[in-house]
Amino acid sequence: MLTLKNISTRYGAIKALTDVSLEVEKGAVATLIGANGAGKSTTLRSIMGLCQPYEGEVLFEGKKINGIPTHRIAAMGIALVPEGRAVFANLTVLENLELGGYLQRDHGKLKRDIEHVYEVFPRLKERLAQMAGTLSGGEQQMLAIGRALMAHPRLLLLDEPSLGLAPLMVHAIFEAIDRINKEGTTVLLVEQNANLALKRSQKAYVLETGRIIMQGSSAELANDPRVKEAYLGD
Amino acid sequence: MESFLQQLINGISLGSIYALVALGYTMVYGVLRLINFAHGDVYMLGAYFGYYLSRLVQGRTPSHLLDAAVVMILSMIGCALIGVIMERFAYRPVRRASRLTLLIIAIGVSLLIENASQLIFGANPRFFPQLIPETHIHMGNLMLTNQQVIVLVTALALMILLNLFIYRSRTGKAMRAVSYNLDAAKLMGIDTDRIISLTFALGSALAAAGGILVSINIPGIDPLMGVMTGLKAFVAAVLGGIGNIFGAVLGGLILGLAEVMVAGYGSSTYRDAIAFLILIAILLFKPSGLLGKGQVEKV
């Protein structure tokens, strides 16, 4: 469904990604793990066109998408839940969700989509008139994911959904991700919490200073001594 | 007492003009973090478009009010186009450059418009045609002109319309999203370039309306009339909290009132100085403005 072919990205003179290739299969949950600054977010931003790879290709359902403006990539069926959530803090929860469905002009369908998000995250329904900035971190994460779902993405990119959340909240978020995946959305999950990510995915890539240094099935990688030592804290 | 009420009305009337112009500053700042110093010149262009259009339109419609409305709407459309062209060719190509670069370009655009206007329209002041014959309205000892009433009602109506647009429409919501977080707005599928373009169009149209409303009251127009009004409207936007729509309206009204009161009770020599005193005071004591929040730089 998604293929990255040897992409390299830089910020000014600093190389952020070198020759990154990866593949996410339809219906799967794939994960990209690595330390802070390894280039995980840059990989997702390169997919969405928020930064431009200067080499290589990004293919979505066989079509080359690098070079296309971000809002058109979003319209093609990819949604990104960005790092730090980036909810519109000065808008209400409901308005955030409506913006998630910005491209849906059918009012009835928009309403049904919002109901579906409330089903996945009942907590949001209680908060619909509240400013998004006043939500707790976990609720903001729910909102950011819910907002992304509004566009019916076929591919959902998640950037560190567990960051800064209490364990109970992390559990709730990952249950929701499971559900979203079972309902047919392919997921690419970026995580610093490698333990969690490897448990919840089928395929994994390890990123280190902008390069893919390991890849394989998540179960395999979870048992790999190098991964264990560097990322699982064993 | 009457004289105070009279000054109050004059102040609100002047303030609502500042508010209209300040809205453009604040909206553009909201989406681009840019102080568009050429905004005052768009206000001037609005008055000139109005001047030329008046000569074409006046007397061709059934009523004076309709004349004025047609002139105003066409002039607003003209300035909206100017705003869009300005953004497209002066600001968009350097959007990724530093804010200092943008600021210098804004000053350059301003100088370009001012000097081109002196070349095209001539540097001498022109007399704006009287679109609506003046009549006096007496309320007790208070005296209002119908023109003052028209200015107030029109400015108020435009601000209400803008507010409805920003807070009720789908595009208005997109505009607020862009001003909060540009990248996140793109991720929602919002064509942010289009929204930024539209923001310039709206702000410029409001400035044009301001230019015409002023000219209805004070009919002398010249190519540099936008300099002082632009600066004062900028002060109004900063006073209210730049980036904040309600702040721009509040700042405009306060500034208009302050100016009229200083001229009325103090000396009219200081009427222009008060704006800058307010600017200095607000920068010293509450740099984020009356309604602005303490800005946290986004990382």
Q: What is the dihedral of CA A65, A68, A74, A76, to 10 degrees?
A: -50
Please, which residues have CB within 8 angstroms of residue A125's CB and are 6 or more apart in sequence? Answer: A118
Q: Which residues 74-93 of chain A have a CB within 8 Å of chain B?
A: 74-75, 79-80, 82, 86-91
| Residue B234: φ, ψ to 5° | -65, -45
- Taking contacts as CB-CB distances below 8 angstroms, the residues of chain A near B183 are 50, 70, 82, 86
Note whether ipTM > 0.90 here. Answer: yes
- Taking contacts as CB-CB distances below 8 angstroms, the residues of chain A near B170 are 98, 102
Residue B176 lies in a domain: no
What pLDDT sits at residue B142?
82
Chain B contact present for A100, CB below 8 A: yes
What pLDDT sits at residue B297?
41
Residue B81 lies in a domain: yes
Q: What's the gap in Å between the CA of B295 and the closest CA on chain A?
A: 13
Q: What's the gap in Å between the CA of A36 and the closest CA on chain B?
A: 16
At A7, the pLDDT band (50, 70, 90 cuts) reads very high
Chain A contact present for B174, CB below 8 A: yes
Beta bridge partners of A159: A190
Cβ of B189 and A91 within 8 Å?
A: no
What pLDDT sits at residue A234?
57
Q: What's the gap in Å between the CA of A150 and the closest CA on chain B?
A: 9
Please, which residues have CB within 8 angstroms of residue B228's CB and are 6 or more apart in sequence? Answer: B40, B272
What is the secondary structure of A123-143 as a DSSP string?
A: HHHHTTTSBGGGS-HHHHHHH
- pLDDT of B2 > 80? The answer is no
Which of A51, A70, A158 to probe by mutation at the B interface, max B CB count within 10 Å?
A: A70
- Measured CA to CA, the distance from residue B229 to residue B272 in angstroms comes to 10
Helices B225-240 and B245-265, interaxial angle, to 10°? 120
Q: Sheet containing A155-159: give its strands across.
A: A78-81, A155-159, A186-191, A29-34, A203-208, A211-217
Residue B155 lies in a domain: no
Chain B contact present for A102, CB below 8 A: yes
Helices (H), chain B: 2-32, 39-57, 64-86, 99-121, 146-168, 170-180, 182-187, 192-217, 225-240, 245-265, 273-285
Helices (H), A77-136: 93-100, 107-120, 122-126
CA nearest to A31, candidates A229, A204, A219: A204
Chain B contact present for A71, CB below 8 A: yes
Residue B182 lies in a domain: no
| Residue A203: φ, ψ to 5° | -130, 145
Residue B154 lies in a domain: no
Cβ of A99 and B183 within 8 Å?
A: no
Find out whether B290 and B26 touch, Cβ atoms under 8 Å. Answer: no
What pLDDT sits at residue B294?
58
- Taking contacts as CB-CB distances below 8 angstroms, the residues of chain B near A70 are 183, 186-187
Give the distance from CA B279 to its chain's centroid.
17
Residue B140 lies in a domain: no
Cβ of A102 and B183 within 8 Å?
A: no
C-alpha count within 13 angstroms, C-beta hemisphere, residue B196? 24
Looking at residues A203-227, what average pLDDT do you find?
A: 92
Considering only CB atoms, B176 lies closest to which of A74, A90, A103, namely A90
Domain of B255 in residue numbering reads as 2-133+200-285
Nearest C-alpha in A relative to B299? A84
- pLDDT of B88 > 90? The answer is yes
Q: Which residues 130-159 of chain A have a CB within 8 Å of chain B?
A: 147-148, 151
CA nearest to B150, candidates B174, B134, B128: B134
Cβ of B180 and A50 within 8 Å?
A: no
Cβ of B176 and A86 within 8 Å?
A: no
CA nearest to A183, candidates A145, A143, A144: A145
Which of A94, A102, A131, A157 to probe by mutation at the B interface, max B CB count within 10 Å?
A: A102
Cβ of B188 and A99 within 8 Å?
A: yes
- pLDDT of B224 > 90? The answer is yes
Domain boundaries, chain A: 2-87+154-231
- pLDDT of B296 > 70? The answer is no
What pLDDT sits at residue B269?
86
| CATH of span A2-87+154-231 | 3.40.50.300
What pLDDT sits at residue B246?
93
Considering only CB atoms, A71 lies closest to which of B170, B181, B192, namely B192
- pLDDT of B1 > 80? The answer is no
Please, what is the average pLDDT of chain A? Answer: 93
Instruction: Give percent of chain B with pLDDT exceeding 70.
Output: 98
Does A17 or B1 have the greater pLDDT score? A17
Cβ of A82 and B187 within 8 Å?
A: yes
- The count of domains in chain B is 1
Residue B271 lies in a domain: yes
Cβ of A69 and B186 within 8 Å?
A: yes
Range name among A74-83, A93-102, A173-182, A221-230 with the lowest pLDDT average? A221-230
Backbone Cα Rg of chain B: 19
Residue B273 lies in a domain: yes
Chain A contact present for B180, CB below 8 A: yes
